[in-house]
Chain A
Amino acid sequence: MSEPSIEAVHLSRRFGSFLAVDDVSFSVARGEIFGYLGANGAGKSTTIRMLCGLLAPTAGEARVAGFDVKSAPESVKSSIGYMSQKFSLYLDLPVRDNIDFFGGAYGLSGPDFAARADEVLRLCDLEAERYATTGSLPGGIRQRLALGCAILHRPAVLFLDEPTAGVDPVSRRHFWRFIRALAREGTTIFVTTHYLDEAEYCGRIGLMVDGRLVALDTPAALKRRYVPGRVLAVRGRNLASAAASLRSRSGIIAVEPFGAGLHLQVAAADWDLASITHALTNAGAQAVEVEAGEPTLEDVFLAVVARPRDGEAHAP
């Protein structure tokens, strides 16, 4: 088996007394789409900065595209592409000038680069916007430009840090189609996202909680392990008060308002569609309809990332 494209071994990073990344180990194969998930502040961005050679680890080590992030950070940087949630583009420049700028930053020039720039404009469907001022373009198009800038130098590993924040569903579909094509051609993809329907595109997912990697597996295996119960969608009238009485019953794992209805997660041994309908009706709900749902990665995330209570709030 060939060397993994990304390998982190006991990677840690401390800021003063705060341990942002705590003893994290994983490896990502060439051409794999690896999702790195966690709450805001869980240590995702700190991990990415270390893997990109931008921040030295306090302990442990990492190799990216065959280079050690500590001893060869410059080689790491030239082997990777990075696209951030803020898209990091010059908004007052035309599209093509942004491409030239990022090409220059990677040391690309001459006819080869001109050909590659045209190719990237075509791949990212930006040919019509070539002369448009970047700041005047909608989010979905800026996103394609940011991606184009990140792959100009044909990186072996592409880091995507919340690449689709605020982008419409149609653009997100196109974006992921393109990312999957890159992965098929051998580019390793390391992606963070808060939109867990997108995490379904990942071959494997790592879940970070408070700096630690607490789960790592395929989406299907994570669901089997962390969402063992039945997921139910409920509609009807007077659901809110009926749901409150349900919360305390055994076998009720989660109750959540959803639009005018409810989403429930229940232990399969204790509850089925009929018994839930019965219980809610007895508690005063009317016209109750219950439908089986599919567990999502969001259910997994919520099961794994239990809400940490960080001390009592005091008045500002």
Chain B
Amino acid sequence: MLGRDPAQGGPAVRESLGLMPQQASLYPDLSVAENLRFFARLYCLPRALFRERSLRLLDITRLGPFLDRRADALSGGMYKKLALACALLHRPEVLLLDEPTNGVDPVSRRELWALLYELVHDGMTVLLSTPYMDEAERCHRVGLIHHGRLLLDGEPRALLAKFEDETYEVEGGERDRVDERLSSLSDVHAASPAGSTLRITVARGSAGTVATALTPLHASLRPVVPNFEDLFLARVRPEAAA
């Protein structure tokens, strides 16, 4: 971590590190303002600097109107945003985010990502964990860990370029019946909803067989560009079956 062993580096490592844990990390009986002040003191932030940074962070997180609200009375998304603000007060060089968007609504989520891109643009290194593949696709580089093993590591685009399966959208047919039929086909590696129909990942070259199986249900296949979730589902499938 920044050239040091985090187990040995002690305070020097932690000073340049911002952490937003997955679990509750704030004092529940302190207000938004009090939590911010508490973290600012932990990092010995001068008053003027604290004022400037907290104003900016409150603006981005839209927590300004809730300064007096206790942390335990915040909604899930607001709590996450406060935890992030507390982790950013000391301008760390490296920011670690453990599932930062669980329970966070889409508007706040996009704002959080806009903020992360800004921080990265200014030179911060961000490492985050997420179970959501549309978010993984937003990263410059991803590692896919499953049962303790790193299965993939690379740029989302590059990983997708190497993806061997084919992805299709099912057109027509009744979704539940189509889904049932598809689940019996071994060439179908994953199926997920797409509007009123399904998006499926199939073994390369097997689309013809799958299409034939769907013909009696009045459904057909239309090729689409694979995304990261298709890749994830297909990649962990053999692991899950093992």
Contact = CB atoms under 8 A, between A and B. Distances in A.
Is B a genuine binding partner of A? yes
Interface of A: 38-42, 85, 162, 165-170, 173, 176-177, 180, 184, 194-198, 200-201, 218-220, 223, 235, 240, 256-260, 291, 294, 298, 301-302, 305, 307, 310-316
- Of the candidates B110, B139, B157, the one having the most CB atoms from chain A within 10 angstroms of its own CB is B110
A220 B59 CA distance: 34
Contact of A40 (B76, B117, B176): B76
A219 B196 contact: yes
Nearest to B169: A294
A316 B58 contact: yes
A223 B134 CA distance: 19
Secondary structure class of chain B's binding surface, majority of residues: helix
B58 A194 contact: no
A214 B89 CA distance: 37
A220 B196 contact: yes
Interface of B: 22, 32-34, 36-37, 51, 54-55, 58-59, 62-65, 67, 75-78, 99, 101-111, 113-114, 117, 121, 131-134, 137-140, 155-157, 176, 179, 190-196, 225, 229, 232-233, 236-237, 240
Contacts of B196: 218-220
Contact of B104 (A40, A177, A198): A40
Nearest to A298: B106
Among B99, B102, B139, B156, max chain A CB count under 10 A is at: B102
Given A169-B232, A173-B192, A310-B62, A315 B55 contact: yes
B105 A259 contact: no
Q: Which of B36, B121, B132, B190 has the most CB of A within 10 A?
A: B132
A170 B236 contact: yes
Contact of B106 (A301, A311, A313): A301
B45 to A, nearest CB: 12
B195 A40 contact: no
Contact of B99 (A166, A184, A315): A166
Contact of B108 (A40, A168, A184): A40
16 contacts: A41-B75, A166-B22, A168-B131, A169-B131, A170-B237, A180-B176, A197-B134, A200-B193, A200-B194, A219-B196, A256-B110, A259-B138, A259-B139, A259-B157, A316-B32, A316-B34
Nearest to B63: A313
Contacts of A298: 106
A18 to B, nearest CB: 12
Given A184-B176, A194-B109, A162 B103 contact: yes
- In this complex, the member of B37, B107, B138, B140 whose beta carbon has the largest number of chain A beta carbons within 10 angstroms is B107
Contact of A313 (B58, B78, B113, B195): B58
Given A40-B104, A173-B190, 8 more contacts: A39-B106, A39-B108, A166-B102, A240-B121, A257-B117, A259-B156, A313-B63, A315-B55
A152 B233 CA distance: 30
Contacts of A314: 55, 64, 67
B233 A291 contact: no
A85 B75 contact: no
Contact of B54 (A219, A257, A258, A315): A315
Nearest to B142: A259
Contacts of B193: 176, 197-198, 200-201
A79 B128 CA distance: 41
Nearest to B103: A165
A223 B193 CA distance: 15
A316 B33 contact: yes
B76 A85 contact: yes
A165 B195 contact: no
A205 B63 CA distance: 28
Contact of B107 (A39, A165, A313): A39
A280 to B, nearest CB: 17
Contact of B114 (A195, A257, A316): A257
Contact of A194 (B51, B104, B179): B104
Contacts of B37: 316
A40 B105 contact: yes
Contacts of A42: 105
Q: Which 3 A-B pairs have the closest CB atoms?
A: A313-B64, A316-B33, A40-B77
Contacts of A258: 137-138
B55 A313 contact: yes
Contacts of A310: 62, 64-65
A184 to B, nearest CB: 6
